Amino acid sequence: MPKPYSVDLRARVIEAVETGASRRAAADHYGISPSVVIIWAQRFEATGSVAPKRSGGSISPLEAHAQLLLGLTGDKSDLTLDEIGGDAQTQNSRQPQRGMAVLHSAL
């Protein structure tokens, strides 16, 4: 992934646009893509900042469930999925004991 443009360049481009230059003219002057200037100008209008967005790193979709799992396990962080969801094979009912469905095919 390429490095983001410097904040200094972004500020100069946005300043040019804010003082009356068209987005395309500012792009031509600084040798960058007009679409980049459009994105920067929209972000500046929305946030008031010329700083680049945070890049890299991702958040696992499971992060949203981490607090739920921690709430179910309490201080017993070494529980298995069967212990958290209740072992469906030993229950009379197929419903999990603690309100969490566990797919045994995924184990």
At residue 26, the pLDDT reads: 96
Domain-located, residue 86: yes
Domain-located, residue 59: no
Domain-located, residue 85: yes
Query: What is the C-alpha separation between 46 and 33, in angstroms, rounded?
Result: 20
Helices (H), ranges, 1-107: 7-18, 23-30, 34-47, 63-73, 81-85
Domain-located, residue 53: no
4 or 33: which leads in pLDDT: 33
Percentage of the chain beyond pLDDT 70 is: 63
31-38 average pLDDT score: 95
Are residues 42 and 70 part of one domain? Answer: no
Domain-located, residue 60: no
Domain-located, residue 17: yes
Total domains in the chain come to: 2
At residue 91, the pLDDT reads: 46
Range of the domain at 71: 66-106
28-51 average pLDDT score: 93
At residue 103, the pLDDT reads: 63
Question: Can you give the C-alpha Rg of the chain in angstroms?
Answer: 26
23-30 and 34-47 helices, crossing angle to 10°: 120
Confidence of residue 105 (pLDDT cuts 50, 70, 90): low
**What end-to-end distance do the CA atoms of the chain give, in Å?**
35
